[in-house]
Amino acid sequence: MLFHQAGWRIGASDSSQSALDSLASQLTERCSIYCVDVREKSDLEAALAAFCVESDGQLDIMFNNAGIAIGGYFEDLPFEKTRDMIDINLVGVLNGFYAAIPYLKRTEDALCISTSSSAAIYGAAGMATYTATKYAIKGFTHAMSVELSRFGVRVADVMPGIIDTPLWGGVRYKDGQPAGTYEKIPRLNAERTDEARTIAPIEVARAVWNAYRGDRLHWYVPEELEHSDKKTSADYDKRRDEILEARK
């Protein structure tokens, strides 16, 4: 919405046609929608090719935002659910880069930005595979920011904390069976004032907006998460021990 209100033309992809139709009905114009599974590289490539026909092969921003969160202790998750997170959260981002690079290279001051997470600050127990995918995106962002600089293309990620989105509807597993969701978390954290407070989705959009005009690698939402990231990376052992102590 933020970019559209500023006059941008939007290309949106999702695996849900109904969600895309809802978005198109809200924007009414300057919006192209594509029902795509990001796990399918060829489908994503076809969607971007169709979108960029309308912009003479130009692509100002590629936002790799697809992701799912399925939780529970690692051994309790069905293997196929673990693979789903890897294939959507990580392989989907790699597919996005493959599809977007030809168009980003032709565009002055282009940006490829992906959604990492505050889970990439330290390992979140009960969300091990999700955490791994987000750490991977963070590292991939570092590498690609150097690689694509030879074309003048910038690369960044956004690292949200608790954002009030449908992501929290992801299933939590116990003993291989569904045992609830995480949908209560945004509400439980709504009154907090620290870095774990619930944030509105518009704040992530603003971070992406600022990223297009900035040159930072990581954009934290809320910004206090940057301090937490630096504290953790300074001493991972200490942070692990603090977490273990808090869980007693």
Residue 122 pLDDT > 90: no
Q: Which of 105, 110, 104, 224 is nearest to 159 (CA)?
A: 224
Q: What pLDDT is stored for residue 54 in this prediction?
A: 87
Place of tokens 């009905």: 25
Q: What is the mean pLDDT of residues 4-25?
A: 96
For residue range 207-229, list pLDDT tens digits in order: 999 999 999 999 999 999 999 99
Q: What pLDDT is stored for residue 117 in this prediction?
A: 97
CA distance 223 to 85: 26
For residue range 70-97, list pLDDT tens digits in order: 999 999 999 999 999 999 999 999 999 9
CB 146 within 8 A of CB 152: no
Local structure of residue 15 (DSSP, 8 states): S
* Axis crossing angle, helix 92-104 with helix 128-147, rounded to the nearest 10: 20
> What pTM, to 2 d.p., does this model score?
0.95
Structure tokens at 56: 């003479």
Percent of all residues in the chain with a pLDDT value above 90, rounded to a whole number: 95
Residue 248 pLDDT > 90: no
Looking at the domain covering 61-246, what would its CATH class be?
Answer: alpha beta
For residue range 140-168, list pLDDT tens digits in order: 999 999 999 999 999 999 999 999 999 99
Residues 6+ apart with CB under 8 A from 43: 36, 37
Please, where are the H alpha helices in the chain?
Answer: 2-5, 17-27, 41-53, 79-85, 92-104, 128-147, 185-188, 201-212, 225-234, 236-246
CB 153 within 8 A of CB 111: yes
Average pLDDT of every residue of the chain: 96
Reported as a pLDDT band with limits 50, 70 and 90, residue 6 is very high
CB 163 within 8 A of CB 221: yes
For residue range 57-73, list pLDDT tens digits in order: 999 999 999 999 999 99
Q: What pLDDT is stored for residue 44 in this prediction?
A: 96
Structure tokens at 31: 């919006």
Reported as a pLDDT band with limits 50, 70 and 90, residue 1 is confident
